[in-house]
Amino acid sequence: MSRFNAFFLALFLTACSSVPTDWSNMSEYEITQWKTAGFTAAEAQQWKQDAMTASQAKPWKDAGFTPSSALKWHTSDFSATEAKRWTDSGFDLDQAIENRNNGLAPIQ
pLDDT tens by residue, 20-62? 999 999 999 999 999 999 999 999 999 999 999 999 999 999 9
* Distance separating alpha carbons of residues 56 and 39, to the nearest angstrom: 12
Residue 8 CA to residue 96 CA, distance in Å, equals 36
Prediction pTM value: 0.79
Give me the pLDDT at residue 67, please.
96
CA distances from 33 to 14, 42, 53, 61, 100 (A): 29, 14, 8, 15, 33
Q: With cut-offs at 50, 70 and 90, classify the pLDDT of residue 2.
A: low
Produce one character per residue of 62-81: b if its CB has 16 or more CB atoms within 10 Å, e if not. ebebebebbbebbeeebebe
Residue 12 clears pLDDT 90, i.e. is over it: no
| Cα–Cα dist 102/71, whole Å | 23
